[in-house]
Structure 1
Amino acid sequence: MQRTQRLPTSEEAAKSQHHADAAPTTVEAVRAIDAIAPATGTAGQVAEGVWWIRLPVAAGPGHVNVYALQDRDGIVLVDTGTNAPQTLQALTEALRFLKSSCGTVRRVVMTHHHPDHIGLAGWFAEQGAEIVATRGTLAVARRMLHDKTLLRTPEEIDFAVLSGMKDLELAAFIRRPKRRYADAVAMLPNATSVIADGETLQIGRRCWRAIVGNGHAVDHLTLCSNDGLVISGDQILPGMSTNLNVPADHPNLDPIAAWRYTCRRIGERIDDRSICLPGHHTPFTGIAIRSRQMIASQEAVASRLLEHLQRPRTAIDCLAAIYRRTLSLAERTLLFPEAVGYMNHLATRGEVVGLPRGKTIVWQKQRRPRGDAIRRDASQTISRLYNFSSEVDETR
C-alpha cells in the first residue's frame, strides 16, 4: 500500500459543516443497477473481478452485502457478516463457487467495526487471511471485544440521564442486559494491517483509494476505484438512512456534520456514473444524488425539531418528532443516541441551545444568548471526531 495520507484540517471541517447542502432542485433519480440480489450461498458478478454476496443478519434490513474482489493471488473480501453459523455457512458456500477461478480469501478489508461487517474477520484470520482496517476500526473493535460485561457502564447510565431518561424507563434501561459485542464478532488477531485516509490498495487491475470518515462509525472506510466503483459500507445507502448515533463516551459529538463532510469528500472522487456497492440493499448509480436526498431528509427532521423545540425538551422528548410515531420502550433505548446527534448538530449551527437541568440537558430553539446555555463550536466538535480514533487507540 502507498502511504499518501490526507487528513482534513479543522478549518476545512468547520467550513464544510456550516455550508448548507442544496436540496435537489429537479427530479433526480437513484437507479439500481441491472442486477438481482444473489440468493443466499451464491455470488453475483457486478463488474469484472467483483462479486456481490448477500448474507443473512438478524437485525435491521435482515441482510448485509459483502464483496469479493479478484486479486493476483486469491480473493480480497470486503466485509464479512456476523459471526454466526448461518452467516458462515452462506459465505463459505458462496466463496466455494469462486474458488476454482479465483482461489481462496487472502485478505479481508473491513469498512467499519459493526458486527454485521466485521464479525467473521477473525475466523478468516485463523485460516491465514491478512486483516486490513483503519486504525479507529481496529481500536474500537478490540476494546469492545474485551468488554465481556452485560451490565450498563456508569458512562452509559450518565449518558441516558443526560438525554432525559428517567424513572421506570431508566430503571428498565439499567436492568436490561446489553448485547455483548463478542457474541457476534470473532476475536481479532494481534497482527493486522492499517489502512489510512488517502492510501491506495492495488487489487487485481484496479487501484482503490481509501476515504476515511466519521459519522456512522469511527474511521469508516470507503473505497473508490480508478474505474468508477465505490464500496461504501454504511456511509451511503439506498432505501434507508444511515444511522448516526452519538457514543456514550463522547456525548458532544456531531455525527451529522462528520457524515456530510465525508460524503463531500467521496463526491470529489466520483461522478454519478460511478456504481456504488453499498453495505445493504442493491448496488446503484447516482451517489451524489442519494447523498443530497439523505441530507434533505435530515433537514426535514431538523425543521420538525425546531418547531418542536419552541419550549424546552430533552433529546428523548424529541424522539416522536424525529420518527413521526410513538416508539416502544425498546426502540427508545436504541434510538435516543441519534436524537442526541440531532441536538448536537443544531447546537453546532447555533439554532438550539442546551440548558443544564441537574444531570439532564433540555434543549430549546435559540432566541437570544443565555449565560447558562450550552452551544457547540463547529471546529472543536469536528476536530474531536477526526481525532477520536487516536483517543480510542490510546486506551488499549
Structure 2
Amino acid sequence: MPQDTSQVTDHGGGVWGIKVPIPDNPLGHTLVHVLDTDRGPVLVDTGWDDPESWDTLVAGLATLGIAIADVHGVVITHHHPDHHGLSGRVREASGAWIAMHAADTEVVVRTRSSEPGVWFDYMSAKLAAAGAPEEHIAPLRAARASGRMRTLPGLRAAVPDREIVPAELLPLAGRRLRAIWTPGHTPGHVCLHLEEEHPANLPGNGRLFSGDHLLPGISPHIGLYEAPEDTRVTDPLGDYLDSLERIGRLAPAEVLPAHQHAFTDAPARVRELLDHHEERLAGLWALLAEPLTPWGLAERMEWNRPWEQIPYGSRNIAVSEAEAHLRRLVKQGRAEAVPGTDPVTYRAV
C-alpha cells in the first residue's frame, strides 16, 4: 500500500485523494480523487488550471506510480474551475475522456462561445436590477470598456466528450460507480456513488464522491445559474434541498468530498444543512418586514464577516445567494415582489 504523504491520502480499495492547491483561495485545495479501474486510473475532478496545481497533481500521481499519460478517464462533479480547470491538460497529456452532466456541459459550451462582453453586460444589468449602487457596477462597465475580459476563469474550459447520465453506472471496468444528479450548487452537479463494500467495513451504503454538494464544515454557495437569454425562473435552493434529502436517504458509509476531508454520518450532516437553510430562510423572512431589494437583503444577511469587509467579487456572489433564497421564499408563499418597484423590492407575506 502506498504511504500517505501531505498531498496524497490512501482511502483504501483502490481510491486515493490528492490535495491540488487553488491559488489565492481560502479553500486552499481541491481534493482530486483517483479511482483504480481495470482499464487504468480515472480521476474524479482535476483541480484549478495553474502551474503549481498541475505540478502537484502530476507529483501526487507519481507517488502512486501513475504517469499522467496513464490516466484513462476524467469524471467531473461540476464545471467550476477548481474542479474542471485541469481537465483539458490531462486529456492532452493522456488521451483520457472527460465526462460531465449535460446541464454543466451546456454551461461550458456557452461560456466558451460567448463574447465575454456579453457576460459583463449581463452582470451589470443583473446587479442594477438587484439594487446594487452605481459605484459597485462602475468597475464592471470599466472592465467591459477596457477589454480586460480574457482573464475570466472558464473561458477556455475543456468541452467534455462523454455525458454523465443520472442514475446510470459509469462504464468503468471493474468498478460500480453510479451517478446521482444533485443540482443546486450548479445545474449539472453530480455526486458519484461507489456501490462497493467499504474497505474498512464501515456501516452504510458504499462511498460517495460528493463534489461540493456535501462538505463536512461548509455550506456550498447556492446562487442563480441562468444564461443571459434564459427566461426560466429557476429555484436553485429548492433543487439543492431536494438533492440533499436524496443523499441523506442514500446513507453512504463514508463521504469523500472535493474540499476539506473525508467524513462519515452523511445523514447527520444533511440534517445540519437542511436546518441551516431553514433558519436562514426564517431570518430573511423576518428581515423582509421592511421591503428590500436583493442587494439590500444581502447587506443585512449574516456572512462570515461584516459586509464592509466582503471583497468586491464576493459581494456579487452574496447577492446571487440572496436572490436564490428570495426565490425560495416567493415559491413557498412567504414573500412577494412589491408591485411597481424598480429595482424590485420584496416583502414578507
1:104-119 map, 5 Å: 104-119=70-85
Q: CA RMSD in A?
A: 2.6
Q: Quick check: 1:110–1:117 contact (8 Å CA) kept in 2?
A: yes
Q: Deviations over 1:256-297 (max 9, x none)?
A: 1100111222233334xx110101100000111111111211
* Runs of at least 5 residues in structure 2 that lack an aligned partner in the other structure: 197-205
- 3-state SS of the aligned residue for 1:332? helix
Q: Quick check: 1:76–1:107 contact (8 Å CA) kept in 2?
A: yes
Q: Quick check: 2:61–2:67 contact (8 Å CA) kept in 1?
A: no
CA distance in 2, matches of 1:278, 1:181: 28
- Of 131, 137, 149, the residue aligned with 1:170 is 137
Q: Quick check: 1:145–1:182 contact (8 Å CA) kept in 2?
A: no
- Of 259, 267, 280, the residue aligned with 2:248 is 267
CA distance in 1, matches of 2:112, 2:277: 32
How far off its partner does 1:37 sit?
Answer: 8.5
Indicate the percent of aligned positions where both proteins have the same amino acid: 26
> Normalising by the residue count of structure 2, what TM-score does the alignment of the two structures yield?
0.85
CA distance in 2, matches of 1:105, 1:142: 24
Q: 1:100 to 1:233 in 2, by over 3 A?
A: closer
**Counterpart for residue 208 of structure 2:** 230
- Of 86, 93, 97, the residue aligned with 1:120 is 86
- Of 273, 289, 300, the residue aligned with 2:268 is 289
Bigger RCO of structures 1 and 2 (CA < 8 A, at least 6 apart) = 1
Q: Deviations over 1:19-50 (max 9, x none)?
A: xxxxxxxxxxxxxxxxx98524xx21112100
CA distance in 2, matches of 1:137, 1:263: 19
Q: Quick check: 1:38–1:52 contact (8 Å CA) kept in 2?
A: no
Residue 138 (structure 1) aligned with residue 119 (structure 2): no
How far off its partner does 1:107 sit?
Answer: 0.3
CA distance in 1, matches of 2:333, 2:102: 32
Q: 1:283 to 1:37 in 2, by over 3 A?
A: farther
- Of 323, 328, 342, the residue aligned with 2:325 is 342
How far off its partner does 1:183 sit?
Answer: 4.4
Residue 256 (structure 1) aligned with residue 237 (structure 2): yes
How far off its partner does 1:68 sit?
Answer: 0.2
- 3-state SS of the aligned residue for 2:11? strand
1:172-321 map, 5 Å: 172-176=139-143, 180=150, 183=153, 187-189=157-159, 192-203=161-172, 205-227=174-196, 228-247=206-225, 249=227, 252-271=233-252, 274-321=253-300
Residue 129 (structure 1) aligned with residue 96 (structure 2): yes
- Of 10, 24, 28, the residue aligned with 1:62 is 28
**Counterpart for residue 360 of structure 1:** 343
Q: Deviations over 1:341-360 (max 9, x none)?
A: 11111111110111244542
CA distance in 1, matches of 2:102, 2:66: 34
- 3-state SS of the aligned residue for 1:206? coil
> Normalising by the residue count of structure 1, what TM-score does the alignment of the two structures yield?
0.76
Q: 1:164 to 1:236 in 2, by over 3 A?
A: same
CA distance in 1, matches of 2:26, 2:209: 20
Q: 1:231 to 1:224 in 2, by over 3 A?
A: same
CA distance in 2, matches of 1:316, 1:46: 43
- 3-state SS of the aligned residue for 2:193? strand
Deviates more, 1:210-219 or 1:110-119: 210-219
**Counterpart for residue 392 of structure 1:** none
Aligned partner letter, 2:35 = L
- 3-state SS of the aligned residue for 2:289? coil
Aligned partner letter, 1:340 = E
CA distance in 2, matches of 1:264, 1:162: 33
Aligned partner letter, 1:145 = R
Q: Quick check: 2:185–2:221 contact (8 Å CA) kept in 1?
A: yes
Q: Quick check: 2:84–2:157 contact (8 Å CA) kept in 1?
A: no
CA distance in 2, matches of 1:84, 1:247: 25
CA distance in 1, matches of 2:250, 2:150: 37
How far off its partner does 1:154 sit?
Answer: 3.2
Q: Quick check: 1:159–1:248 contact (8 Å CA) kept in 2?
A: no
**Counterpart for residue 126 of structure 2:** 159
How far off its partner does 1:149 sit?
Answer: 2.5
Q: Deviations over 1:317-343 (max 9, x none)?
A: 112432253244613223110010111
How far off its partner does 1:103 sit?
Answer: 8.2
